[in-house]
């Protein structure tokens, strides 16, 4: 016998010889081992997403970019949602979707994907829905989420526009408004996320805009907050927030958006999307394929944040059209009740 199978000595025994590993195989084993360790130690959420009993809805047919369109759900019914409803069926949700559909063309978030109609049918019964949409000609997928929350639209609106409250709730270590005023339209927000080694931390800048046109056209039936990519280090010159750039890399670009549709006084349909190229050594295409699970967690955490607000917090925020979210007389405990009218004097006999 010869080669790796060994040679036979004079006593009839086989002497095995092991081929020394080449440098190429050492590199392959190292890379595979490193990848397995990163997935196991630093990305447990990926495993949870892959084994999720409620798998995300994925549309791989491609889409027309910058459509921002909603679902096609068929003819509307006369079913109405009670003003005080705490839950909704798809039969009740469908006419609302048809009513707001014509106004979606006024969206400020031009990168918003079209959420599949199957998700709208599933969300009343099964809770948060999420998935990815892969554009033809784009490696990076758009991740979307859909939920119905038992909160007024005003409370969710505060949460999606309160970026400086995100650290400790969302997976960002820094979230600061450095241009403009907090909660105001057109503000610039610097955000940073820590990543496990060997990857460098990531930072980015977004310009937050409210969908004034769609709010006006729909007469307040659609509230939209759009995060436009503004990642540019030159904007940070002379700003205190520049100190956070140390040992961090910028993302190539990032876009996101929230759409709120009030269903009743205590019920809101929430749509969310994110579209990001992390840049650097992180593979944008493969990484985006796992984004649907992160979308679910982001939406759940924003709802958690929204539940912390008190009525008086509404005074710090404005509606998409710039008017106050609430006036003092609308907030419990901030205004004295009007004095009771004195009973009229009895007529003189």
In 3-state terms, what secondary structure has residue 36?
Answer: helix
pLDDT for 43: 40
From the centroid of its chain, how far is CA 335?
Answer: 36
| CB half-sphere exposure, 120, CA atoms < 13 A | 21
Other C-beta atoms closer than 10 Å to the C-beta of 165 total: 16
Is 131:288 a contact under the CB 8 Å cutoff?
no
Q: Which fold has domain 57-330?
A: Alpha-D-Glucose-1,6-Bisphosphate; Chain A, domain 4 (3.30.530)
pLDDT for 341: 57
Specify the length of the chain in residues. Answer: 349
| 24-43 per-position pLDDT tens digit | 544 333 333 434 433 333 44
Q: What is the dihedral of CA 174, 177, 179, 184, to 10 degrees?
A: 160
Q: In the chain, where are the structural domains located?
A: 21-51, 57-330
Is 270:260 a contact under the CB 8 Å cutoff?
yes
Is 157:325 a contact under the CB 8 Å cutoff?
yes
User: Using CA atoms, how far apart are residues 196 and 211, in angstroms rounded to an integer?
Assistant: 36
pLDDT for 335: 41
Positions in the chain whose pLDDT score sits under 50: 1-5, 8-18, 25-68, 72-78, 328-337
User: Using CA atoms, how far apart are residues 243 and 182, in angstroms rounded to an integer?
Assistant: 20
- What is the value of pTM for the model shown? 0.74
Q: DSSP of 320-346, one letter per residue?
A: TTSSBS--GGGSTTTSPPPPPPPPPPP
């Amino acid at each position: 016998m010869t080669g790796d199978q060994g040679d036979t000595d004079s006593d009839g025994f086989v002497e095995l010889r092991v081929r020394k590993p080449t440098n190429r195989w050492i590199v392959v084993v190292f890379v595979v081992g490193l990848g397995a360790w990163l997935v196991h130690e630093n990305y447990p959420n990926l495993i949870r997403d892959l084994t999720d009993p409620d798998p995300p809805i994925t549309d791989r047919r491609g889409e027309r970019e910058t459509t921002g369109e909603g679902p096609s759900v068929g003819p509307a019914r006369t079913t109405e949602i009670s003003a005080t409803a705490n839950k909704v069926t798809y039969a009740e949700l469908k006419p609302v979707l048809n009513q707001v559909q014509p106004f979606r063309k006024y969206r400020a978030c031009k990168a918003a994907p079209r959420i599949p109609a199957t998700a709208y049918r599933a969300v009343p019964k099964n809770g948060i829905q999420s998935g990815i949409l892969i554009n033809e000609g784009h490696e990076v997928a758009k991740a979307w989420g859909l939920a119905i929350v038992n909160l007024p639209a005003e409370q969710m609106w505060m949460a999606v526009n309160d970026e400086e409250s995100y650290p400790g709730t969302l997976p960002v270590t820094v979230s600061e408004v450095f241009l403009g005023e907090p909660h105001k339209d057109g503000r610039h927000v610097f955000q940073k996320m820590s990543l496990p080694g060997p990857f460098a931390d990531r930072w980015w800048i977004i310009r937050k805009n409210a969908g004034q046109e769609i709010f006006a056209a729909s007469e307040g039936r659609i509230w939209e907050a759009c995060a436009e990519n503004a990642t540019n280090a030159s904007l940070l010159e002379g700003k205190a927030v520049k100190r956070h750039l140390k040992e961090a890399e910028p993302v190539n670009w990032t876009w996101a958006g929230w759409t709120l549709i009030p269903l009743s006084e205590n019920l809101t349909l929430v749509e969310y999307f994110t579209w990001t190229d992390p840049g650097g050594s992180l593979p944008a295409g493969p990484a985006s394929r796992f984004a649907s699970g992160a979308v679910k967690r982001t939406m759940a955490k924003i709802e958690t944040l929204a539940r912390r607000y008190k009525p008086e917090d509404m005074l710090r925020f404005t509606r998409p059209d710039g008017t106050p979210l609430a006036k003092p007389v609308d907030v419990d405990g901030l205004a004295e009740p009007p004095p009771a009218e004195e009973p009229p004097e009895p007529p003189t006999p």
